[in-house]
Amino acid sequence: MKVTGDQALVKKINTSIALEAIQLHAPISRAQVASMTGLNKATVSNLVNELLEQQLVLEIGPGQSSGGRKPLMLLFNRHAGYTIGIELGIGSFTAILCDLSGQIVLEEANIPIRSNESEHVIDSLCDTITALRSQAPSAPYGTIGIGIGAPGMVDEEGNVLFAPNLGWRNVALKRAIEERFPGAIVTVDNEARAGAIGEWEYGAGEKAQHLVYISAGAGIGTGTIIGGELFKGAYGYSGEMGHMTIEANGRKCSCGNRGCWELYASEKAIAEAGKNVSYHSLEEIMQAAEQDEPNALHTLHQIGEYLGVGIANIINTFNPELVIIGNKLTQAERWIRKPLLRTVQQRTLQSHQHGLQIHFSSLQQRSTVLGAANQVIQLFVGRTKVSV
């Protein structure tokens, strides 16, 4: 959005800075916030007092003195409001209610979807949202909003442009939810991008300024965080790296391209490799791998290698500190991990390997719901940044 500078903007920026310092370093005193952020003590006092009035911050009494007056310690009031996070999957969805620090209060996992018809799905989502809202603890701001991670391309207005697994085209999901819950903050984003935020804020991504999250399931989606911010790309719907070519003359993909990464490194690879054997799902092949069946082991190893090929490309493109692999394929970490790491090591520039870490998701299927919820929280607290 086009923004000009005025005093309100200054205050917004500084409030955001102060609140973030409190969130990250609680319990913390006003004086510490001032010295840490570079803001003037008086400014911090003013801003904090307003945040106290708004109940976004709590004073929990005096802390340890360091030779003088005891500081009054501050906490981010994670119970000021609650938010709902939803991961829309294939055949089912998962919804959570969490507080402003991402602590899950209620969870409704794997609610089946009977029909992929968008109206039906939206009805179903709304029923669950209503149920969660009614069970939410009372809070100054109540349930502030609903964040949704959807499988497919989502534009900046929250329209699901294309979701092949749901058979959706141009579904105005955000608007539909907003209409049902007037006043609520609603966000809709791609499932992998929400997952990236989830891992970054609450999972394996702690503190990393630059990370890439790879959602490897029925296909491959990616979410990228650069400089502590979600990388939006042009028009807001980049991230179709699952359709990056890694075999120029490879198999035909449903997207029209050939040799797409997700053909070789997602569940799609199982069905393909198993054409002559009888593996049709990740579950099946994992069972077989447990029995040390050579075919299953080989297929899983190959998936690991191909995941590594794509990850190497991502590393060369974005040079992140951290790559996190999430979604269903993490269940096969045992078999995938080694070939994946070896491939990445072989295929990336030495200089990019420096300080690079590769992790599997630590949130166990909760990356997306938490990330979706976090997107609402970010809007609620009004995070604002300046680049010079």
Partner DNA sequence: CATTGTAAATTTAGAGCATAAATAAAGTTG
Partner DNA sequence: CAACTTTATTTATGCTCTAAATTTACAATG
Cα–Cα distance, 285 to 299 (Å, whole number): 9
The number of angstroms, rounded, from the C-alpha of 357 to the middle of its chain's C-alpha atoms is: 18
Sign, CA dihedral 46-57-128-373, equals positive
Instruction: Map tokens 């085209």 to a residue.
Output: 169
Task: Provide CB contacts within 8 A for 50, sequence distance 6+.
Answer: 15
The nearest distance, CB 377 to its own copies, in angstroms, is 16
The reply to whether 248 sits near its own copies by the rule CB under 8 A is: yes
CA angle 377, 186, 78 (to 5 degrees): 20
The nearest distance, CB 102 to DNA, in angstroms, is 26
Residue 178 binds which one of its own copies, DNA, none, with CB within 5 to 8 A depending on kind?
A: none
Site string for its own copies, 99-128 (x = CB under 8 A): ------------------------------
31/255 with CB nearer DNA: 31
Task: With beta carbons less than 8 A apart as the criterion, state whether 52 and 4 touch.
Answer: no
Site string for its own copies, 252-271 (x = CB under 8 A): ---xxxx-----x-------
CA atoms within 13 A on the CB side of 265: 35
Q: CB burial class (10 A; 0-12, 13-18, 19+) of residue 337? A: middle
Task: With beta carbons less than 8 A apart as the criterion, state whether 329 and 267 touch.
Answer: yes
The reply to whether 173 sits near its own copies by the rule CB under 8 A is: no
The reply to whether 29 sits near DNA by the rule CB under 7 A is: yes
Cα–Cα distance, 315 to 212 (Å, whole number): 9
The reply to whether 251 sits near its own copies by the rule CB under 8 A is: no
- Interface residue with DNA among 1, 2, 3, 7 (CB under 7 A) is 7
Residue 299 binds which one of its own copies, DNA, none, with CB within 5 to 8 A depending on kind?
A: none
Q: Is 109 left (phi over 0), alpha (psi -120 to 50) or beta?
A: beta
Q: Which stretch binds its own copies (CB under 8 A): 37-45, 71-79, 113-121, 141-149?
A: 37-45
The reply to whether 189 sits near its own copies by the rule CB under 8 A is: no
11/301 with CB nearer its own copies: 11
93/168 with CB nearer its own copies: 168
Q: CB burial class (10 A; 0-12, 13-18, 19+) of residue 121? A: buried
The nearest distance, CB 22 to DNA, in angstroms, is 12
**# chain residues binding its own copies, by CB under 8 A:** 69
- Interface residue with its own copies among 52, 75, 226, 286 (CB under 8 A) is 226
Cα–Cα distance, 368 to 203 (Å, whole number): 11
Positions 60 through 79 that interact with DNA (CB under 7 A): 62, 65-72
The nearest distance, CB 90 to DNA, in angstroms, is 47
Q: Dihedrals φ, ψ of 122, to 5°?
A: -65, -40
Q: What is the largest CA-CA distance in the chain?
A: 77
The reply to whether 213 sits near its own copies by the rule CB under 8 A is: no
Cα–Cα distance, 44 to 228 (Å, whole number): 23
45/55 with CB nearer DNA: 45
The reply to whether 42 sits near DNA by the rule CB under 7 A is: yes
The nearest distance, CB 162 to its own copies, in angstroms, is 6
Positions 338 through 377 that interact with its own copies (CB under 8 A): 346-352
As given in the structure block, the two tokens for residue 279 are 């593996």
The reply to whether 167 sits near its own copies by the rule CB under 8 A is: no
Cα–Cα distance, 277 to 293 (Å, whole number): 11
Positions 116 through 175 that interact with DNA (CB under 7 A): none
The nearest distance, CB 352 to its own copies, in angstroms, is 7
Cβ-count burial 215-228 (b if 16+ within 10 Å, e if not) = bbbbbbbbbbbeee
Q: Which residues bind its own copies (CB under 8 A)?
A: 1-7, 9-14, 17, 37-39, 153, 161-162, 209-210, 226-227, 229, 231-235, 237-241, 243-249, 255-258, 264, 306, 309, 312-313, 316-321, 346-352, 384-388
Q: Which residues bind DNA (CB under 7 A)?
A: 4-8, 10-11, 14, 29-32, 39-43, 45-49, 62, 65-72
